[in-house]
Each structure stands twice: as structure tokens, then as C-alpha cells.
Structure 1
Amino acid sequence: MPMLRKIMQLVAAAVLIFALMVGCTSEQSQLNEKTEIAEKPRLEEKDGISSPTNKSEQNYEQSFINSHGKTISERIKVPKGYERVEVPRGSFAEYLRNLPLKPHGTKVRYYNGEEKPNDVYVAVIDIDVGTRDLQQCADAVIRLYSEYLYKNRQYDKIHFNFTNGFRADFKKWMQGYRIKVEGNKAYWVKKTGYSDDYVCFRKYLDMVFAYAGTLSLSQEMKRIPLKNLQIGDVFLKGSDPGHCVIVVDIAQNTKTGEKIFLLAQSYMPAQDIHILKNPANDDGNPWYSINFGDVLITPEWQFTKDQVYRFWE
């Protein structure tokens, strides 16, 4: 009997130890499950749509984006320690800095309505792209400069060269002349009466878009040193293929004097003009430093530091 009692006690102790082990394992499994759930993005209800709350996106918006801003200067904040440079009132620089933007979160669309798949931008400029595959990279630069001149009735300054060297003057177009292209030749033909309305202006631009490009633009703009960079200057590689982006804002460090800048572009196929991200900044900062070295790396192209151009004036 004493031996039987001892065996029963050992069995009972073994059962108790097993129960404790199973209980700890079960509790640890529940703890791990709760931890995993706690680490998942929380869903917030906004206008009946659930969307994940991403901490990095929240910090990004708080740091660099004012989602309620309606222009470049209102939407995109400068980093701490920097201030936007002063620009003359009524200048091209002031015009670009205050370009209207589409609502925050708007997607870039191609001319045919399809969405651009590459997430390379922080904002979309509120200007039409047209319904034809025309307003690509160089055309976007031409468009912005022309819109500024047209707005200020500086019609005599609106002129661009075709790739073959033909000069297309808007003042001539306003007088009712149109451009006829035959092979590699182009010439003016009187077609209609005088008009300086916006519809006439847009038709002129479409004609320029069709026959101008980065190569012709590089031949009629002047190259400038990077250290003299201003709003409205263009990083440009004039070739086939080529590309260009335009500086739409500049800020400066109040202590060191370092310049930083924002870039806008269109691309192929024709698409909404958009403000580029800076792929070098993990924190979502879209500003580029003038101290980028020998090569400026943008999301879809690279430029050398000597490929900086300015419109004639």
C-alpha cells in the first residue's frame, strides 16, 4: 500500500506539471496573437471608407504637406531652418510658386484618362493635359512659361523653335496665320482673322508641342551655372530621347545659405504636370539640395550639374 500511494502521488505531480506547461503555452500563444493584432495598422473610418493609418505617412504630411493648401507654396512646407527665397512681384518665379494644385491625393492621369502607375509625385498641378499625346516633358516647360506670358499679355515673347529650326511666333498666329508642315519644311499660311483668345492660344501651343522638343528647347535656352539656380530654371538633356524638369520653388537655409528646390515635370505619354518626390529622402521630403554632387537623381531621369538652362529674357 505505501508503494501504491507513492506511485499515485508521482502520477498526480506529473499531471499537474503537464497542465501548467500546457497553460503557459496557451497563454503565450494568446499573447503573441494579441501582439500581432496590435502591430497591424489601425483602420479609421473616413466618409464611410476604411483606410489604414500609416504612421510614416502621417509624419510625412505633418512635416512637409499641408493637405488643405491650394498652391505649391501653401501645400508644400519648407524643412525646419529654411525659408522661401524672395521673388519679384509679378515675376515668372512668383507665378510658378503659386501654381494651383489639384486636391491632395489626386492621381496623375495620362491624356487618355488612364492613371500613371509610377508613384513619383507629391502633388498634381491643376492645368489641363489636353486630349492628345502632345504635352510631354519639354511641352510642359513650354506650357508653363507660355501661360505666364499669356496671362501678362506679353504676346511678343511667346515664340518657340521647331526641331527643324522654324520659329513659331504666337503674334503671327494671332494675326490668323497658321503653320503648314511638309516633310522637313514649315511655312506660314494665312487662314483666318485676328484672335488673341485662349482657345486660339491653346491651338498654337498644340502646334508647338507637336514639332518642338528637348533638343530644340536646349538650343534656344541659355545654359547657366548651377550656383545661380533660380525658380523657373530647367534641368534639361536635349537629345532623342531627352528629358527636362522645371524648378518651381526655392528655399534657403537661414544659417548656411544652402539652397533647396522643388521640381515639376510631365513625361511620356502626355500626362498631368506634377511635383516630383526626391528619391534620396526616406522621410518623404520632396525638396532637392543644390549640393547634390555631379548627378541630380530624379525618380524617372538623371541630370548632370551642368545641364541647367534658363529662358531668354
Structure 2
Amino acid sequence: MRKLIILFIIPVLLISCTDLESIKNNDITITKTGHTEPADKTEQIIDPAGGTIESRFHVPEGFERAEAEKGSFADFIRYYPLKKYGSPILLFDGKERVNQSNHEAVFDMKLGEKDLQQCADSIMRIYAEYLYKTDQKDKIAFHFVNGFLCDYRHWSEGYRVVFSDSGTAWQKRGEFLDNEETFENYLEMVFEYASTLSMVEESKKIDITDIQIGDIFIKGGAPGHVVMVADVCKDRNGDKAFLLAQGFMPAQEFHILKNPSSTNSCWYKVSEIGDELIAPECQFMISDLRRVDYCK
């Protein structure tokens, strides 16, 4: 992810997360009206009429969705609006992403017209939106790559971030203002100076058996990559399965990923993963699973 790293240079180990834009889509069929319909391998899992994760994605046979407290972040994600089934992933400039073969749904989420909202940024946005819409604005805060904590409370009170040879600090520039434009301007600032590098520092490792909605598989770097757990279900034997969502570069719409290792599902079953998680455009180790505490 392209980010401006402030005041110092951080050595990073690049990872191989190739955007395979030239892959052809063999997993959907096109109707005479131009809409996409699920192919045989996913028709038992996907309900094209569903407008949310909860209503569009059926769980695998023998599984039930993990409980999610009403009003929780998990509940927020499950009922976040999705665009119409078959919608293409759009880039920040309004163009369609070339490779449309790796997703099963597109979030109806604001993207912006700048090449800023990439992988980590999409996850920061959805957490920020949850806290903003549930009147927990004082919890909205993200670290820059250089360690500076940029919180929405300061921003809404008219403070702005200034950079100098002596460090990064808040400086009073205006009066209190809390509206959608203020919120979006704040997020743009965060997207400019935060990345997978800072997200790794803000998270902690967890065991795959404890996986929850909102957890992330992450490789910090420049570029790095991160995907978010968008839903979780489990069976009577304790096996769990999950859906993954990602943004990507250049900045593009947040979307639910297919499972390239499965022939009949977009769910990733823990019992079938082993030590390595293979996503459509990046591979992670199970040890890359982490939890962010943005809601605490």
C-alpha cells in the first residue's frame, strides 16, 4: 500500500500479493438481462436476493452462525448493506476493476475519489463507521505509521495534525464541528498516514480457534495486505468457518472473497486450512491472525 511514512524510514519485507487482473471469470453465468447468477457450485450457499451478509450467505450444512449481540460490531457487519448481486468492484475513479472473478459480494460503502481507501483503510473505515453511527465517537482513533494517535475527538474540536522536525502534534485551527464532511476529512487524514504497518502494532495475535467477526489476517509491509473476517459460523463439533472481506490497491470497493480452495463454498473452514490460508490474491499463515481493539 502506498503510504507516506513520516520522519523516519521503516525497513519492510515485501510480500507477494499479486492482483491477478487478467484471470477470467469462470464462476458466474450472465443472464440475458446482463445480471449475474450463481453457478452450480455456490447456488446452495448464496441467495442473490439477499441484501446483507446474513441474508445473502447461507452457512454450510451442519453449521450455525455464531451469536452476535444486537448492536455489536459483529451485528453491524452482518447487516451492512451489500450492493446488488453481481455488482462489479469499482475503483476510486469509477472504473471497473479488471479482474472481477474473485468476489461474491460488494459492500455498499463510501469509497471516495482519491486513491487512499485501500486494504487497511477499508477496515479502518468500517470500524470508524460503526463507532460513529452507534454514538461512540470518542473511541474513533487510529495510529499513524510513526506512532502518532489521530483521534476523531481532537479533529472534531478543530485541531489539525502538524508535522515538524520535533515531531507530530495537534494544533488548534478551528471551532468544534461534527458532521459527515468533518468525519470524511478525518478519515482521509488517517488513510494517508496509517497502513498495515500501524495496524499490526494496534493488534494482537489470537488463536484460530477463537476467531471472531472483525479479526484480521495481516502482513504488515509497504505494500502489505490485510483481510477481515466478515462472518463466523460453527458446527456441533466445534469446527468454525468464516467469510473474508478485503479492499485492495488501487483503492477499490470493499468486497467478500471467494474461497479458491473450495469447490462449493465461499466459506473457509478452519478444519480444512492447516497452517496456511490461501485467499484469491494473497496467502497468509494462521499465525497472521490478529485482533484489533478499535471498539474498546
In structure 2, how many angstroms separate the alpha carbons of the residues matched to 1:183 and 1:239? 25
- Matched residue count: 264
Q: Secondary structure at the match of 1:306?
A: helix
Tell me, yes or no, if structure 1 residue 113 matches structure 2 residue 94: yes
In structure 2, how many angstroms separate the alpha carbons of the residues matched to 1:270 and 1:181? 25
In structure 2, how many angstroms separate the alpha carbons of the residues matched to 1:122 and 1:141? 18
Match of 1:279 among 253, 257, 260: 260
Correspondence for 2:195 = 213
- Give me the TM-score of the superposition, normalised by structure 2: 0.84
Partner AA of 2:270 in structure 1: I
In structure 1, how many angstroms separate the alpha carbons of the residues matched to 2:219 and 2:279? 13
Shift of 1:95: 0.7
Tell me, yes or no, if structure 1 residue 98 matches structure 2 residue 79: yes
Shift of 1:179: 1.3
Partner AA of 1:240 in structure 2: A
Q: 1:164, 1:184 within 8 Å by CA — same for their partners in 2?
A: no
Q: 1:277, 1:286 within 8 Å by CA — same for their partners in 2?
A: yes
Matched ranges for 1:145-224 at <5 A:
145-182=127-164, 185-224=167-206
Shift of 1:60: 3.7
In structure 2, how many angstroms separate the alpha carbons of the residues matched to 1:44 and 1:159? 43
Correspondence for 1:78 = 59
Match of 2:241 among 241, 253, 260: 260
Q: 2:209, 2:240 within 8 Å by CA — same for their partners in 1?
A: no
- Deviation per CA, 1:98-127: give whole Å up to 9, x if none: 111000110001101121122210000000
Correspondence for 1:25 = none
Q: 1:61, 1:67 within 8 Å by CA — same for their partners in 2?
A: no
Q: 2:114, 2:251 within 8 Å by CA — same for their partners in 1?
A: yes
Q: 1:97, 1:248 within 8 Å by CA — same for their partners in 2?
A: yes
Q: Secondary structure at the match of 2:234?
A: strand
Structure having the higher helix fraction is 1
Cα RMSD (Å): 2.0
Match of 1:231 among 200, 207, 213: 213
- Give me the TM-score of the superposition, normalised by structure 1: 0.80
List alignment gaps of at least 5 residues for structure 2: 1-28
Correspondence for 1:289 = 269
Q: Taking CA–CA contacts closer than 8 Å with sequence separation of 6 or more, which of the two structures ends up with the larger relative contact order?
A: 2
Q: Secondary structure at the match of 1:268?
A: coil
Shift of 1:64: 1.3
Match of 1:311 among 260, 285, 292: 292
In structure 2, how many angstroms separate the alpha carbons of the residues matched to 1:44 and 1:259? 33
Shift of 1:46: 4.2
Greater Cα shift, 90-99 or 189-198: 189-198
Q: Secondary structure at the match of 1:199?
A: helix
Q: Secondary structure at the match of 2:43?
A: helix
**Structure 1 residues 262 and 158: alpha-carbon distance in aligned structure 2, compared to 1, 3 A threshold:** same
Q: Secondary structure at the match of 1:122?
A: strand
- Deviation per CA, 1:284-304: give whole Å up to 9, x if none: x11001131111010111111
Tell me, yes or no, if structure 1 residue 244 matches structure 2 residue 226: yes
Match of 2:121 among 131, 136, 139: 139
Q: Secondary structure at the match of 1:107?
A: coil
Q: 1:109, 1:272 within 8 Å by CA — same for their partners in 2?
A: yes
Shift of 1:61: 4.9
**Structure 1 residues 294 and 205: alpha-carbon distance in aligned structure 2, compared to 1, 3 A threshold:** same
Q: 2:163, 2:169 within 8 Å by CA — same for their partners in 1?
A: yes
Q: 2:156, 2:178 within 8 Å by CA — same for their partners in 1?
A: yes
